[in-house]
Amino acid sequence: MLRNDRDTELLRSELFSIEQLKRHAVTLAGRHRINPRSGPDRLQPRLADNPRVLLTAYEIVTAAAATPDRPADR
């Protein structure tokens, strides 16, 4: 829960300017190295599982929102 306008201002402020973000992205990219050996394809199975994961998350959030006894309401 935000206490005052200063908290809201801090929450909405930029952590990085656009230029700082660009420089940081270049630095991070420069630290990564490509492995010349081919590894197992892990992306496709994860992408195939996304609909199930998203539906499960949706159902959990929907059920939580429908629950009348929420601690925040007390």
DSSP state of 57: H
Report the predicted TM-score, pTM, of the whole model to 2 decimal places: 0.42
Q: One digit per residue, pLDDT tens: the chain, 74 residues?
A: 556 677 777 667 778 889 999 999 999 999 999 888 888 888 999 999 999 999 999 999 999 888 877 666 65
Query: What residues have CB less than 8 Å from 16, skipping those under 6 apart?
Result: 24
Residue 2's contacts (CB-CB under 8 Å, 6 or more residues apart) are 8, 11
